Amino acid sequence: MEQAMRDFFLFLSKNKSMTKLAKKYGLRFGASRFVAGETIEKATNVIKELNKQGLCVTIDYLGEFVDNVAEANEMADHSIEAIKAIGREKLDSQLSLKMTSMGLDISDEAVMRNMRRILDTAKENNVFVTIDMEDYSRCQKTLDIFKQLKSEYDNVGTVIQAYLYRTVNDIEDLNQYHPNLRLVKGAYKESPEVAFPEKKDVDENFKKIIKMHLLNGNYTAVATHDDAIIEYTKQLVKEHNIPNDQFEFQMLYGIRTERQLELVKEGYKMRVYVPYGTDWYGYFMRRLAERPANVAFVLKGIFKK
């Protein structure tokens, strides 16, 4: 039942007609639980509140199905606007973005031009940028772009997904760049030919890459809501005397808020992934796919209105 629900919401996340409808009708139906608003101004207010609670942030302007250069350039403009707002308001925030939003599926020239524009602005404002990882078909291309940009900029990192078979090799290959990586389980529906189908195998691989990356001496963002993975990380850093400034925990805005604050009180760096923008539908569906409990929260929100 849970897998069927997950597959259903992942299917809905790719529906272009629903995406258009969602843009038209705004942040209704509970999406505001997970999305900080449609404008940078609203997102900025959310970040300020989170910062006051001791939480740091990474902000993401949401976008799906970008298929022309004008749209990709506009998405890059939104990222640049967000970076300038972070600098102007002195927010404790980084930026996250997807390569497809920057023109990955259009041309190498488009995506590299937009990324350099963004990273130049980020450098001026002392903002770190993380390149999000997408589905398997775009994994190698994303890593190739990351390697190129990492040779030009210090303020860029990327994401590695534990559910892929290739991940251990990617961690080894990227080590030469001393990268700042966000490690995640992975949220896309992938074939068993490229990804572990069983959760227990994903969890074991997740632990393995956390250990590898930390012991390589690289900065590690452990992005998870899973207490077992959080506890594993805590024990690992204690056992190997890894300082708290070499890693952080990351969670999504609107999910496990109390746990986020507990980790801050325990002295850990806790970063919240805060998405905003009008193109929220695909992101929202993927959050519902991840945890059936999220669906219950949304239904409660709708019936309260």
Which residues have a Cβ under 8 Å from the Cβ of 110 and sit 6 or more positions away?
Answer: 69, 72, 73, 102, 103
Is 286 catalytic? The answer is: no
130-162 per-residue burial string, b: 16 or more CB within 10 A, e: under 16: bbbbbebebbeebbebbeebbeebebbbbbbbb
CA–CA dist 57, 223 (Å, integer): 12
In the DSSP assignment, the letter for residue 195 is B
Choose, from 60, 132, 170, 279, the residue flagged as catalytic: 132
Choose, from 6, 60, 170, 182, the residue flagged as catalytic: 182
Is 7 catalytic? The answer is: no
Nearest to 109 by CA among 72, 62, 164: 72
How many alpha carbons lie under 13 Å from residue 154 in its C-beta half-sphere?
3
What is the crossing angle of helices 167-174 and 139-150, to 10°?
10
Please spell the DSSP secondary structure of 94-130, one letter per residue: EEEEETGGGTTTT-HHHHHHHHHHHHHHHHHTT--EE
Backbone dihedral region for residue 198 (phi beyond 0: left; psi -120 to 50: alpha; all else: beta)? beta
Which residues have a Cβ under 8 Å from the Cβ of 123 and sit 6 or more positions away?
Answer: 153, 155
CA–CA dist 103, 206 (Å, integer): 30
Which residue type does 73 have?
Answer: N
User: What torsion, rounded to 10 degrees, do the Cα atoms 252, 253, 254, 259 define?
Assistant: 60
Residues forming the active site: 132, 182
